Amino acid sequence: MKVEVDGQSVEAQANASVASVLQQVLSGKKYKALVAAVCRCAGETRCVDISLPLPDGTEEIRPVYAESPEGLEIIRHSAAHVMACAVKRLFPKAKVTIGPAIANGFYYDFDVERPFSSEDLSSIEAEMKKICDAKAPFERSVVSREEAAARFGDMGETYKVELIESIDAPTVSLYSCAEFTDLCRGPHVPNTGFVKSFKLLSVAGAYWHGDEHNPMLSRIYGTAFSDDKALSAHLKMLEEAKRRDHRKLGKELSLFMFQEDVAPGMVFWLPNGMLVRTILEDFWRREHLKRHYDIVQGPQILRAETWQRSGHYDHYRENMYFTQIDEDVHGIKPMNCVGHMLIYNNALRSYRDLPQRYFELGLVHRHEKSGVLHGLLRVRQFTQDDAHIICMPEQLEGEILNVIHLIQDLMNLFGFQYKILISTRPEDSIGTDEAWELATNALIQAVDAAGLQYVINEGDGAFYGPKIDVVLLDCLGREWQCSTIQVDFTLPERFDLVYVGQDGERHRPVMVHRAIMGSVERFIGVLIEQYAGALPVWLAPEQARLLTVTDAAREEASAMCDALRSRGIRVTLDERNEKLGFKIREAQMAKIPYMLVVGEKEVQAHGCNVRLRSGENAGLRSVEEIVSMIRTAAEEPFKKGGMSYSFS
């Protein structure tokens, strides 16, 4: 039969392997870089091992190379099998569970007598190296469910038996490499030699099936790449990410703390961190007032019936907290939209009143499992920079476009690159097909009008409407989902929102849910990592620190400190009887933008010797010059984005 490969038509013999067909077109480095292939049969595609016979009816074969995203996923999945093989050699009593490829790596969970420690990783890596050097082939076999269950049962692999019994199919596929056999759909690399550039990273605990009532397993995380150069670059990035970890920096810079035994997943803001947060929130309130939003605030708890009416009780109940007051069940709000709709219904609105734009820095609570909590990035109590725009349908596209412009301004201010996803209707949703189509089209038209590229993210919308998700990229290329714009025709219906039109009749408005930072906590966490703790001058909790050289400079330094504070500069005075070098190192470790040294010479000149946190020495400057320098640095990122900054 004829098969198309890389734009060429080739002849494929009956029972020919996928590899042999590809070899007619590919050779040299290209052929050696093959890890799998995607075959198209009758309009459907599937990824297969190149050692297998060509599927019947194959019309086209697309090579999958090691360095491609698909190829890397296959290499990482194969690396998980190699790791499991090494673990079984070193720890024969270990029971294997599951070992998938994940973003940038892989993991495997094991039931072992004692949890793995970091010290175990080097010996497991060494054993993996032996398996890879042997270039053992990955061999696929298909057996009946009963045979597979009996085989794993004989090996004492009870978790595999449980998985097999949950499969609703007469047969299952198994993969073997060296002496290790695993239940797996595949595909895999041709042999273990393709898993040559790997590194085991860490160990952790994980419940079987993620259920805290099940046994605690020991998880090993690793990563793998197509070559050593890519692996080395990734490991360097991980080291840089570790240096920038907001949890570490938050402690070092006295920004925030957690007390897991008192309030797990909830932040204690320390004075420095609370000042950063206050500066950011004050700026954000001013921006919203400039853009004609009304600042509102709703209550923390509402009767359960209200959440039933909104649909949150049916679709979001497992993420909510509930309490009882006077025998009535109340829900602690996970979102602010219900309160804003009730505010809208406080009065009858005319078409002249629309759009109504309600903005709230709203404190919300969501029940997150303890295993997913992660510093400021995943918490149970957080503040959304939330807004809801209630408008006429004909105003919808313009309002979405205005929100997009606000997102662009914020991303430009902090220098973030970003990409846009448009998420469509999920299976668990409410509302009519017509409303969903109107809402989705409005989002697409607004993004098109803004001239932005986007990707359709099928089935990942909110339960009440489609959404735009803005994924920002930090300086290390990591992705963070922050901004979202959601269009909702359904909740206005459920809460009977109306406006009086030009015709004197009552009409139904549409509502836009939107958050730009998403969560103030998460956004600050991302900023800390983006800047490695050295926050921009306008946001730094301590913009300058005065450092005395001798006791004789105290009086002059104190007067300078007062003068700087009176001009809106956030400055502190370090007049301790310590060596100057020690004070400077402390200030640099604290990421203070400006260190102002006051000694005998500076007292006589009524100025300060200015040192920057970058290590640069700006020389002797007067108080007025220092104020100008700090203000210019604070205002610079705003001027670039056409925004304004206030010292008040």
Task: Give yes or no: 366 in active site.
Answer: yes
pLDDT band at 648 (very low <50, low <70, confident <90, very high): low
Q: Does the structure show a pLDDT above 70 at 140?
A: yes
Q: Which of 488, 486, 478, 487 is CA-nearest to residue 419?
A: 478
Q: Is 384 labeled as catalytic in the residue annotation? A: yes
70-235 classified as CATH 3.40.50.300? no
Please identify which of the residues 337, 391, 482, 608 carries the catalytic annotation: 337
**pLDDT for residue 476:** 82
Lowest-pLDDT range of 129-133, 241-245, 473-477 = 473-477
User: Rounded to 5 degrees, what are φ and ψ at 548?
Assistant: -85, 145
Q: Read off the pLDDT band of 463 (50, 70, 90).
A: confident
CATH of 2-65, one of 3.10.20, 1.10.3470, 3.40.50, 3.30.70: 3.10.20
Compute CA distances 432 → 512, 514, 532, whole Å: 17, 21, 47
Q: Which residues face 143 on adjacent strands? A: 172
Mean pLDDT value across the chain = 93
Which is the catalytic residue, given 219, 388, 522, 570? 388
**For the chain, how long is the longest CA-to-CA vector?**
95
* pLDDT at residue 478 tops 90: no
* pLDDT given at position 15: 80
Is 467 annotated in the active site? yes
Quick one: which H or E segment has residue 205? strand 197-207
* Catalytic-residue membership of 133: no
For residue 503, CA distances in Å to 351, 390, 493, 559 come to: 10, 19, 20, 68
56-81 residue pLDDT tens: 888 889 999 999 999 999 999 999 99
Out of 513, 522, 545, 631, the active site residue is 513
Percent of the chain at pLDDT exceeding 70: 99
Residue 127, SS3? helix
User: Can you give the pLDDT at residue 647?
Assistant: 60
Cβ–Cβ under 8 Å, residues 337 and 310: yes
**pLDDT classification of 26: cutoffs 50, 70, 90:** confident
Q: What is the pLDDT of residue 434?
A: 86
Classify strands 479-488 and 499-500 as parallel, antiparallel or unpaired.
Answer: unpaired
The amino acid that residue 286 corresponds to is R
Q: Which residue has the tokens 């993210």?
A: 457
Q: Which pairs count as long-range contacts for 103-107, CB under 8 Å and 24+ apart, including other chains? A: 104/223, 104/234, 105/76, 105/201, 105/221, 105/222, 105/223, 105/224, 106/76, 106/77, 106/79, 106/80, 106/221, 106/222, 106/223, 106/224, 107/80, 107/219, 107/220, 107/221, 107/222
* Mean pLDDT (whole number) for 548-573: 95
Residue among 49, 386, 469, 474 flagged as catalytic: 386
The helix (H) or strand (E) run that includes residue 486 is: strand 479-488
CATH code of the region 278-292+334-530: 3.30.930.10
d(CA 450, CA 401): 7
Domains in the chain: boundaries: 2-65, 70-235, 278-292+334-530, 544-640
What are 58's strand-pairing partners?
41
CB 174, CB 184: distance < 8 Å: yes
pTM: 0.85
* pLDDT range class, residue 292, cuts 50, 70, 90: very high
Catalytic residue among 340, 366, 378, 591: 366
Helix (H, G, I), strand (E, B) or coil at 450: coil
Q: What is the pLDDT of residues 97-107, one digit of tens each?
A: 999 999 889 99
Residues near 594 by beta carbon (within 8 Å), at least 6 away in sequence: 543, 544, 545, 610, 611, 612, 613, 626, 629, 630
Q: Could you identify the residue written with the tokens 């668990």?
A: 428
Distance CA(435)–CA(511), nearest Å, equals: 12
Asked whether the beta carbons of 520 and 276 are under 8 A apart, the reply is no
Active site (annotated) includes residue 386: yes
Model pLDDT, residue 335:
93
What are the tens digits of pLDDT across the range 608-641?
Answer: 999 999 889 999 999 999 999 999 999 999 987 6
Mean pLDDT value across residues 220-230: 96
Q: Which residue has the higher pLDDT, 631 or 647?
A: 631
* 640 burial via Cβ count (<10 Å: 0-12, 13-18, 19+): exposed
Mapping DSSP onto H, E and C, the string for 348-417 reads: CEEHHHCCEEEEEEEEEECCCCHHHCECCCECCEEEEEEEEEEECHHHHHHHHHHHHHHHHHHHHHHCCE
Q: Which pLDDT does position 526 carry in this prediction? A: 93
Tens digits of per-residue pLDDT, 501-510? 999 999 999 9
Compute the distance between CA of residue 572 and CA of residue 471 in angstroms, rounded to an integer: 37
> What does the pLDDT look like over 383-411, one tens digit per residue?
999 999 999 999 999 999 999 999 999 99
Q: Which of 384, 486, 530, 543 is catalytic?
A: 384
The answer for residues whose C-beta is within 8 angstroms of residue 420's C-beta and 6 or more apart is: 447, 452, 453, 454, 455, 468, 469, 470, 471
Please state the length of the chain. 648
Helix or strand (DSSP H, E) at 44: strand 44-48
Of 212-216, 231-235, 526-530, the range with the lowest mean pLDDT is 212-216
Number of Cα atoms under 13 Å in the Cβ half of residue 49: 20
CB atoms within 10 A of CB 306: 19
Instruction: Give residue 212's pLDDT band: very low, low, confident or very high (50, 70, 90).
Output: confident
Structural domain 544-640, CATH architecture: 3-Layer(aba) Sandwich (3.40)
The DSSP-derived string for 67-117 is: TSHHHHHHHHHHHHHHHHHHHHHH-TTPEE----EETTEEEEEEE-SS---
